[in-house]
Structure 1
């Protein structure tokens, strides 16, 4: 495969590379956006415990993830995430 046809991938940080834990917490949502997508992320308390609420205003979709689901994401191979990105979302 030549360099012009490669699809973008996800880079995994080196093993043992730890990011610094944020020193200040905010009460408001976090908005992450670029020209292709935007998401709003909030930490919410549910009757079943703390969840991460991820909302896509453009698509109108939302998901609540608990710590186990988020932890599961951390040990996935980058190729799985690339495969998910290559799928066409349902309308």
Structure 2
């Protein structure tokens, strides 16, 4: 384990909560496809979902900058704000 000054209970809880995001991936894909009528709409929804997923996978590692080590507080703030924005829509 990496050395970290002070209590890390909140950090561990945040990591555990964030790690559960990938679990409902298949359920969201099925829901998105079933919530759309017509083959073209279903295909478009699934394609847009995959594009967003791919962009997130490309952009998010860029947020872990060396100058924000060791706790990456700015990175977690950015990730939570973006997740909150997209969760509202």
**TM-score > 0.5, shorter chain as reference:** no
User: Which of these two proteins has the greater Rg computed from alpha carbons?
Assistant: 2
Higher relative contact order (CA 8 A, sep 6+): 1
> Structure 1 or 2: larger helix share?
2
